[in-house]
Amino acid sequence: MTGMTGTPLADLVGPKIGALVAQGHTPGVAVAAVRGADRVVVCRGIADRATGAAIGPDTSFELGSLTKTCTTLLLANMATRGEVGYHDPIAEHLPLTARPREQAAGRITLLDLATHTSGLPKLPGNFYRRALPHWLTDPYAHYHLDDLFEATARLRPRRPPGTGVRYSTFGVGLLGQLLAAAAGRDYRGLVTERVLDPLGLSGSTLEPTTATATAHRRGKARPHWHFDALAPAGAWCATPNDLLRYLTANIEPTGSPLADAITAAQLPRHRNGTVENCLGWSRRAMRGHILLWHTGATSGSLCFVGFSPTAGAGVALLANAAPTPRQPILRAARKLFGKLVPEYPGTAPSAEPTAEEQPHL
């Protein structure tokens, strides 16, 4: 089946990702792509050098900060159901002992957390003492909910909430835990029930499994990451088939059980130069089309998801290799995104700085 340019999607995608493997940028890579009525998943390379297992449509990948789009979609779902409000102050959903001592910090809203306008730093100040002993192995696994609440009690934002963008893993991690508290649930169970299951993401987990591709950095296998309190900002693992479903639901939400929440999540909430911050997604209008995107990474995995509801097209690229300074994997993903959007020449706009996705963020 051919798309709008007359080139079959598989023929458009295959050579580009095959080159990433052939040139040694990643052991394995998978792309899920949508263009009009066409859908394709293309996989190249291996999931584990030790076993030689091939990447396939049901191979799981660590998605890192792409998890933030699930957490902000959960916010939209709960807001549309009237369970929380976008402008609820965080103090409303925190335990008494975890409420910020500084009054202005307590007025940070759930929307501020979801749009990176809370003024919070990339990571909590007390994160490092927990993470440093495990920095090269599993830095997030030992940061617990008590640690997170200790950090919220000491909050002192560097700028007034809602006035500027500062990308914050701390903020979205806190958001997910506040939503879980409002629902009287744990985050993993809540996001699975409200987001992953309704979208049919059956290959998704919030922990690496035996089906998760081995992470690699500079050609060497890396340990998988695990998350505790900051799970809402980075714990999602998913398959290429799942990302195809996720793209499709975001491009055309009509008929989805999360249609209202998906639509709300894609609305612009704050302008940051030429880019608008939505709930989780970055957004830009170019040549008559709306483009939305997000990246994610762990110590040995990298992903990019970009889509255009107006063009009916999108791409998700997953690789089991860490980001590098020249970013050949992300550049390839953006070029593919650009090729899928009609009347849009060149590459898609740059995503948020990939340094935000590193273990030391």
Show me where the domains of the chain are located: 9-357
Distance CA 332, CA 282 (A): 19
Six token digits for residue 93: 């959903």
77: how many CB neighbours lie within 10 A of its CB?
A: 24
Q: What is the pLDDT of residue 66?
A: 98
Distance CA 160, CA 11 (A): 49
Six token digits for residue 179: 């939503």
Distance CA 45, CA 346 (A): 27
Question: What average pLDDT does the structure give for the chain?
Answer: 91
Q: What is the pLDDT of residue 356?
A: 39
Q: For 110-178, what is the HEC assignment?
A: HHHHHCCCCCCCCCCCCHHHHHHHHCCCCCCCCCCHHHHHHHHHCCCCCCCCCCCCCCCHHHHHHHHHH
Six token digits for residue 241: 């088939």
Cβ contacts of 125 within 8 Å, gap of 6 or more = 151, 154
Q: What is the pLDDT of residue 230?
A: 98
Quickly tell me which residue has 């940028």 as its tokens.
Answer: 25
Distance CA 40, CA 35 (A): 9
Six token digits for residue 137: 């192995």
> Could you report the per-residue pLDDT of 200-221, keeping only the tens digit for each?
999 999 999 999 999 999 999 9
Helix spans in 199-300 (H) = 240-251, 259-265
Distance CA 312, CA 278 (A): 19
- The CATH topology of domain 9-357 is Beta-lactamase (3.40.710)
Which residues in the chain come in under a pLDDT of 70?
Answer: 1-6, 342-361
Distance CA 208, CA 280 (A): 22
Contact (CB, 8 A) for 354 and 303: no
